[in-house]
Structure 1
Amino acid sequence: GYLTFILGIIRLGFLDSVLSRALLRGFISAVAIVIMIEQLLVMFKLSETAAKDGIGHASSSFKTLSILLHILIMLIY
């Protein structure tokens, strides 16, 4: 939020027209996926487990694999 505010103040809104639409859509989609993965940890109450296992600051792909593994373990038991 602060970065957007600062960019607005120093009038860098023209970057929206310089960067390709596909690049901006890809960036926004990637941000949405990262937020979704972070919320899945909270939704499945795996935040404490993730912190204990040391994946709290891991990459999104590693977090996704961890979530899927925990779901699979829950289904088996």
Structure 2
Amino acid sequence: MTSTDSGMSLQDGMRLSGMSYRDLWLRHISVSGTLGELELEAYVLGLLVPDDYQHNLIAQALNEFFIDLGEDYPVGYRDIASAE
């Protein structure tokens, strides 16, 4: 298991964004995500643990929300290159 690079958690990013889970799910799909809406919510809430790839897709969807607002990307990514 790899650690999250510096940045906030998925749950903290979701809370800060103020988005609905449906909005996040639509953004997740736009970055090539394939999770169902409830599965995505369970990952963000920490009820399920996403693998590094899924974590990074959710983080990307959240961070693109912040980038659209002209802000930095606050949600941390996992370094999947060091997992090998």
TM-score over 0.5 for the pair: no
Determine which structure has more spread, i.e. the larger CA radius of gyration: 1
Higher relative contact order (CA 8 A, sep 6+): 2
More helix by share: 1
Please give the TM-score of this superposition, normalised by the length of structure 2: 0.38
Please give the TM-score of this superposition, normalised by the length of structure 1: 0.40
